[in-house]
Structure formats: C-alpha cells, structure tokens
A and B are shown apart, each in its own frame.
Chain A
Amino acid sequence: MTGLLSIRNVTAGYGYGPDIVHDFSLSLNESEVKCIIGPNGAGKSTLLKAVAGILKPRSGDIFFEGENISGKEAYQIMRLGICFLPQERAIFPNLTVEENLRMCAYSIKDKALATARIEAAIGMFPVLGQRLKQIAGTMSGGQQQQLVYARAFTIKPKIILIDEPSLGLAPSLVEQTFNHIKQIAASGIAVMLVEQNAIKGLQTSGYGVVMDLGKLVFEKPANEVLQDQSLRDLYLGKALKK
C-alpha cells in the first residue's frame, strides 16, 4: 500500500490512558476523499490527531509521500503538507481577520506567494475581505467558519484532515460547510474527514471507512455504504417502518 498517505498498523492513545486506536491501517491517495464514520468513542478523532502529530503514535508508522512522519512535531507535519482542522475549530480570537490570514500563511516562505494565496482566499470568501480589520472573535459563527476554511485555501496542503466538520453548526451552515469541503476536494487536495453526520459525510466523499472500537471494520466506495441496507441499519440508523 503506497500512495500519498499511508497509515500502517498505528496504535494510539492519550497520556497514560489505554489504547484508543488499535493496529489501524488506511491509505489516502491524491484527490481522494475519504469519510470515516462509526460510533462514539471509536477513535476517529484520535486517528486524525495521530496523523496530524498532535498525538504521537504508540506503535506503527505513518508514511507521507514516502517519508515516515510518525513522531514528528505537529508543526513539522503541517509544513510537509498535511493540514488539520480540529474539532475546536479555533481561529485566533483576538487577532484581526487579516492577521489570522497572515498566520494561515505563516508557513509560506515566499512572501509574494503568501500574499497571492491570501488574496485568493479572500476571493473565495468575500465576507472576510470586508472585515479584514475586524477582531476575528467578534464575527458570527458562520463567518468564523469561513475563516477556518480559508486556511485550507491559503495553505493549499496536499492533504486536509477535518474532524467533524458539521459539529455544533446550524443546519444552514452545515450545507455551506460541505460545499467548502467539495470545493477543497475539487481543487485537488486529498481529504480525510471524520463525521458524525454519516449521510452528509458519505455524500461528500468518494470512500466510506467504518471504524469501531479503534479498529478498521471495512472500507468501501461511499455510495455503496450509503446504499447497503444492512450497513445503513447498523451504522446510519434504521428508518422507521410504517
């Protein structure tokens, strides 16, 4: 199994606690969009954190473009091309929108390129362009959300990891969010997302990965997961029968 990202037999957990992710393997290729679904506590977020470098894997390896990145610091992994949007989708609340965008472009050495990327991001999110001098924390939830996703377009990573994009969002924003994700995927960035809203998540993705108790249950093309009745019942909830 090669490809852009190759997670091999990774086991991970928090602090001195038990293993949450057990011997997990998965790969992600260019332009692929994979959605990880599964019950609570399955270890989905933990997996993303291990890839992003927030957690260090306890065993196993993670290969990115052929290089073993497990054990590297989060900022190093980020600079290699993996961008992580965690659940606490935090922006920098006391910086202005413009400063936030400059921070997004922090890792871009070439000043001209950084400026160009920021301009492009503002182009995609004109709302931000109108509020450049505003303190980011004073914006509405939806606007802050846009700032978060602007990060992806500023950085243009090779892979973006998104932890529960729809979490805590009003339904109207959920739609907007998944549109952003589709745009990101369309621009050629590989996406791995973890999503509770399994239906929306699968509809946005090419593959569905089911995870339970820290282990991989199976991986199938997303529309197969959506259409398979027994899988639907098991993981997506039974529809009420009349």
Chain B
Amino acid sequence: MMEILQVFILGLCLGFVYALMVSGLTLIFGVMRIVNLAHPILIISGAFVSYWLFIKFGMDPILSVPAAALTVALLGVLLYKLIFEKNAAQQTYSEMTVLLTFGTAMVIDGLLAFLFHNTQRITSPGYATDAIFIGEIFIPLAQLYSGIVSLTIIVVLAVFLKYSEFGIAIRATSQNRTSAELVGVNVKFVCLVSFAIGCALAGSAGALVSFVFSFFPSRHWEWIAILMSLVVLGGMGSLTGAVIGALVLSVVSSFVGAFYSPAWSTMVFFLALFLILIIRPRGLFGIKAD
C-alpha cells in the first residue's frame, strides 16, 4: 500500500513538471494555432541556462528559473519575429508552420549539440540526492521541489489567464481572433506576448527539468513525442485538458515503470495518444475537431 502511494506521489510530482512543459505549448497553439515542435528544444535550452549558471556561479536551479525563463522568452521573440510572425497572421493552422517549427527545432538542436556536445548533463544541487520521509513514504527532494514549483507556476498562469485583463484578452483571441480585434484588442501584440509567455514557460520548465532528468540536445525528440501526445490527448488548445492529461499519464507511467518495467514507462504516453485517436479523436477536452 505504501509503495503504491509512493509511486503515486512521485508520478504526481513528475506530472506537474510535464504539465508545466506542456502548458506553454498549449498556450501557443491556442492563440496562434502553431504546433511548436521546437518547444522541447527550448525547454532544453532553458536547462542549459540553468546548468551553466550552476556550474559557473553555483546558482541553485530553482533560483535560476527567472533567468532561464527570460532567456528562452527572448530567444522565442527572436524566432517569432524572424520566422513565424508572417505565418501567425492567419489564425488557421498550416502544415507549413509545423514544418517551420520542425526545422527550427533541428537548427537549435544542431547548434546546442555543436556547442555543448551530446553528453548527458544534469545539475546537481545539494538536495538532488536528499529525500524526505513522510511516514514510510520516501520522496526524493528533487522530484518534490520541481513538482511544487511547477504547480506554483501553473497556478499563477491559470490565475493570470482567468482574472487579469490581458489574460482574458489572450483567451478571447484564441477563441475568436476577429471578434477580439473588433473590440479593440491589438491581436498582433497579443500573439507576440503569448509566444513569449509560452517560451518563458518552456524556459522555466527547463530550469526545473535540469535537476530531475539528465538532458542532452537530442533528448528533445523523445519529449516532442511525449508533449505532443499530451496536447492531442487533452484536446488541442485546452490548457485544462493538457494539465489533467499530464497528471494522469504521468501517474500511470510511474506505475508502469515501477511495477512492470522502466523501459516501458514512456510508451504509456504514445500508446495513450493512439488510444485517444481511436476512441475520441478530438481529445478529452477538445473544443473542436481538428
């Protein structure tokens, strides 16, 4: 029983991290219908920021979240201006844009691999090897802290989107861009800021991931498949759906990893994707069939 509870809690902690990773992706898709395949490599970029801050200055990766978020956000704005802005003009999804993000992912991957090589890295702050005991349950601090911080950021995001003026404008723009424009929303600006926020979320996820998973540039392919599966699962563009999907699948994945075989834990995500495609193609919370 205790073991089950432990696996569940660990799965949940990881789930919040995955949820953070997928939140930026979902936001960008919701507002601009861009399936950003470069999102995971941006997460890894954030991880590298934290890594180097840790190596050079001994900065705790959790403290480096703002720095990582800002760096990746700026990178994102640059990419947006150079590559995506023209295509984001239409709110309709286009294959071309997905392939553009694909090319972008490869460019950043190649660059990072060239600069830093594909060695596995991980930041190892003091607590990375510690754990706490709640009764008989053993929870590594790395997972716990990353889960809590991820949860916090997601809550802040949700509150921002739900209650702030600009947050409502973002939601309105993703629902009906023309109507938003006709009530005076500067839609181009909203798109740019949403993209920046999405990238900031990626960067912060990267900072947290840096001490939970070992990372290297090519790892983003694995994460593309996982995160994209979550986006489809939750229903394209639904933040609630993506978060819930992340939590559920992460817990299931943890159970599979603990009681069946660790090698199969990531398969859970891909198989879930195919299951959803068979049963309910528009995802758990899908608003429209896409």
B168 in contact with A102 (CB, 8 Å) = yes
0/1 interface trace, chain B 179-192, chain A, CB 8 Å (1 if under): 11111111110000
> Given known contacts A94-B287, A95-B168, is B182 in contact with A86 (CB within 8 Å)?
yes
> Given known contacts A90-B176, A92-B179, A95-B175, is B184 in contact with A75 (CB within 8 Å)?
yes
B184 in contact with A106 (CB, 8 Å) = yes
Residues of A within 8 A of B186 (CB): 73, 75
B205 CB → nearest A CB, Å: 25
B175 in contact with A75 (CB, 8 Å) = no
Residues of B142-190 contacting chain A, CB below 8 A: 165, 168-169, 171-172, 175-176, 178-188
Residues of B within 8 A of A93 (CB): 175-176
How distant is the Cα of A104 from the Cα of B181 in the complex, in angstroms? 11
B172 in contact with A74 (CB, 8 Å) = no
B181 in contact with A75 (CB, 8 Å) = yes
B287 in contact with A74 (CB, 8 Å) = no
0/1 interface trace, chain B 14-42, chain A, CB 8 Å (1 if under): 00000000000000000000000000000
- Name the prevailing secondary structure of the B interface residues: helix
Report the nearest A residue to B188, measured CB to CB: A73
Contact of A90 among B165, B168, B179, B187 (CB under 8 A): B179
Residues of A within 8 A of B178 (CB): 54, 74, 86, 88, 90
How distant is the Cα of A90 from the Cα of B176 in the complex, in angstroms? 7
A92 in contact with B176 (CB, 8 Å) = yes
A239 CB → nearest B CB, Å: 39
A78 at the A/B interface (Cβ < 8 Å)?
yes
Question: Interface residues of B, CB < 8 Å — how many?
Answer: 19
A79 at the A/B interface (Cβ < 8 Å)?
yes
B184 in contact with A107 (CB, 8 Å) = yes
A83 at the A/B interface (Cβ < 8 Å)?
yes
Residues of A within 8 A of B185 (CB): 75, 103, 106
B180 in contact with A103 (CB, 8 Å) = yes
Contact of B171 among A94, A107, A151 (CB under 8 A): A94
B183 in contact with A78 (CB, 8 Å) = yes
0/1 interface trace, chain A 32-58, chain B, CB 8 Å (1 if under): 000000000000000000001010000
Residues of B within 8 A of A54 (CB): 178, 181
0/1 interface trace, chain A 64-86, chain B, CB 8 Å (1 if under): 00000000011100110001111
Report the nearest A residue to B175, measured CB to CB: A92
Given pairs A88-B178, A103-B169, A103-B183, 6 additional interface contacts (CB within 8 A):
A74-B181, A74-B182, A75-B182, A92-B171, A102-B168, A106-B169
**Chain A interface residues (CB < 8 Å from chain B):** 52, 54, 73-75, 78-79, 83-86, 88, 90-95, 99, 102-104, 106-107, 151, 155
6 residue pairs A–B, Cβ–Cβ below 8 Å? A54-B178, A74-B178, A75-B181, A78-B182, A93-B175, A94-B171
